Chain A
Amino acid sequence: MPTPAHRRSSAAALALVFALSGCTADGDAQEHVVVTTNILGDVTENVLGGRAEVTVLMPPGADPHSFEISAQEAALLESASLIVHNGLGLEEGVGHHVTAAEEAGVPTLEVGAHVDPLDYTSDEDEGRPDPHFWTDPQRMITAVDLIAEAGAEEIDGADNARAEAEGYREQVEELDTWMAERFETLPEERRALVTNHHVFGYLAERYGFEVIGAVVPSGTTLASPSSSDLADLAEAVDRAGVEAVFVDSSQPDRLARAMAEEAGTEVEVVSLFSESLTPPGGGAETYSEMMRANTDAIVDALAEDQG
């Protein structure tokens, strides 16, 4: 299993120091904030990490929909000073623990519900709020403010959290400006994401992209594909008028070859980070790193003139 960052061990050491001093002083428990997803965990660490122990439940590289927690971690939720969660149905394996803690009187912040969520527009989920707000940094700036406000309210000694978050807030603002500038280098007609990811709706809205959903042929189909297997993806590429598709495939090269041979369509198959930060060295260790990596990948792929 991936070893969490050195940040974790230093945090642990720090926590111990705090705890010991706390014990000798008046026996007060250390203030702690528990965060469900690792994306919000990184943001919360940046906003409140100086004032509270921040524990992130979702491991790097995990899946926010399906990760589950141990009995110990559930107990942690119950004793938290504040719980920060994405909500809008994202953390399916943990949602009932958050609800239980909330019912037990633990303050909770459902970030997704307060960032003006978009509704899904696809047929199956039409009308349901889309929980993947983090692909829009402007909404993440709102999230920074929300987390700072909640911290100021619920954590002893964090009255100035809003002011202390200013540095990180500026970082996210810079990220947003940088992304906007990068995407502006793409002509409008090339701002099309042919993808099987369901998380880029917010990014598309913020930066003027069109998301074109596509069925991606799976491993067994690619073993011996015919043009009909690739028709849906080829049609999406045609419609988009671009030469790159942003899909998860275990065999990206094979998919590209099959598209060329069977559908007569030259495409680059690019994978993006979607719902989780990675372990150190994985390319998306922080929220900012994840967003920058995706932006570069998208711009590089769509800017390429493949003739």
Chain B
Amino acid sequence: MTPSPGHRAPRTLASTVGGLVLTAVAAACGTTGAPAEEAGETSPESTPHGYVEGAEEAAEPQPRLVLADEDGQVQVLDLVTEETTDLDPLPDPVSLTGDGRFAHLSDGEQTRVLDTGAWTVDHGDHSHYYRAPVEDLGEVPVPGPTRVFADTTRTVLSGEGETLVLDRSALEDGEVETAGPENTAPGSLLAPFRGFLVHVGENGTVEVLDEEGERAEEFGKTCEAPQDSATTRSGLFLTCDHGALEVTESEEGFSATSVPHPEDTGAGERAETLHHRPHASTVAAPAGDEGVWVLESGADEWNRIDLPDTVAATAIGEGGPVLALTGNGRLHALDPETGEERSSTDLLGTVDPDHPPVIEADAGRTYVNDAEEGLVYEIDHDDDLRVARELETGPTPHFMVRTGY
């Protein structure tokens, strides 16, 4: 084949120079005004907001995995290049979460924030993909295990008795800064949603707070004992004692729809933690260890799939399967509506109850960690759960999270 003439150099998020020309002119003229005053301060001021040193745009998604073992050895694995980056260990970790770009490794006292250097900017009709070096941004005083909820403006870390709202653009600049309510009551939940914060009070009231923390909307519906939240392309799901609450935004403002569990649902079978391919409009939640709950954005009821001994589950959405792992190490691809098994495969020899595997999905591939073998399986979930790659990991993958979305 002929070499393609249009080969493009990696697009760099470079600072601009254009503005400096006129600044110099203004200064030469002795004109008063901001540009002249700032002229002497040179480059830092002329660096555009959002500039990331060393970041470059890529033609396609740049997924990475963060892997940690129970001793706290941490590694970032680039799924495109298979390159690895080792980070300082954090002894005795209890949880590892992610928000698309940043990963959060917690022990019983604090949480370390890692910039995994891979992310996506979604422009609706198309997306842009970026890659940058991995950075350790240090610790914040949030004791694990933590959950993380985020949008493009803020990341909320919710740990044992402590919740911290972090400024996302500061994080992108490598700075850890808070951006929101300092104190939230135990039993409450804060989830960023389209530049606002959805706040579920300890008494179950649900409200939307604006950037200043002022109430923008309060709903008549409640969410007692909030457990988890997940953002889809259409809205935000919360899991509550009674089932789910879906918060959506339209031109008329915010609204909330309640989706209760069926009446005969036992306490141990409620949907608590939500899992899905990021942004997909379908979420899955283990129904205790009895099966999987599936909920579609805009639906008014849950779909329940019975699958004894379910350990982990996630939803691909948009016609893709619900994936569930059972205690015998078998991975199942289930029809999200009928629950019918499309395919299944024996994947893991054993499932470690202390470090249950997770299922992390993107559009084309799904990742499952096998701590016993020291491997991560890359699964083609649209092709009979074919194992596309077996990826050897540095640390034993007791904990795993995917970033780059």
A residues lining the B interface (CB < 8 Å)? 1-2, 4, 8, 11-12, 15-16, 18-20, 22-23, 27, 29-30, 32, 53, 55-59, 61-63, 65-73, 75-76, 79, 92-93, 120, 122, 124-125, 198, 216-221, 223-226, 228-229, 248-250, 252, 256, 268-273, 276, 278-279, 282-284, 293-294, 296-297, 300-301, 304
Contacts and interface: CB of A to CB of B under 8 A. Distances in A.
A107 B22 CA distance: 18
B383 A228 contact: yes
B126 A198 contact: yes
B45 A71 contact: yes
Interface string B361-405: 010110000000000001010110010110000000000000000
B80 interface: yes
Given A221-B365, A249-B59, A283-B6, A73 B18 contact: yes
A27 B29 CA distance: 7
Interface residues of B, number: 65
B364 A61 contact: no
Contacts of A32: 22, 25
Given A61-B8, A278-B9, 4 more contacts: A59-B16, A59-B18, A66-B128, A223-B378
Taking each of A15, A18, A19, A297, which has the highest tally of chain B beta carbons within 10 Å of its own beta carbon?
A19
30 contacts: A16-B28, A29-B26, A29-B29, A32-B22, A53-B25, A55-B22, A57-B19, A61-B11, A62-B13, A66-B50, A68-B51, A69-B48, A70-B16, A72-B19, A72-B46, A125-B125, A218-B60, A219-B62, A226-B383, A226-B386, A228-B380, A229-B364, A249-B60, A250-B60, A268-B4, A271-B4, A271-B6, A284-B6, A297-B6, A304-B2
Given A15-B22, A300-B2, A75 B33 contact: yes
A20 B6 contact: no
B23 interface: yes
B63 A220 contact: yes
Contacts of A223: 79-80, 82, 378, 388-389
Contacts of B364: 217-218, 220-221, 229
A68 B48 contact: yes
B378 A224 contact: yes
Nearest to A80: B22
Nearest to B80: A219
Nearest to B131: A250
Q: Which of B123, B124, B125 has the most CB of A within 10 A?
A: B125
B61 A73 contact: no
B124 A124 contact: yes
A65 B8 contact: no
Contacts of A216: 60
B220 interface: no
A273 B6 contact: yes
B6 A294 contact: yes
B85 interface: no
A70 B48 contact: yes
Nearest to A229: B364
B31 interface: yes
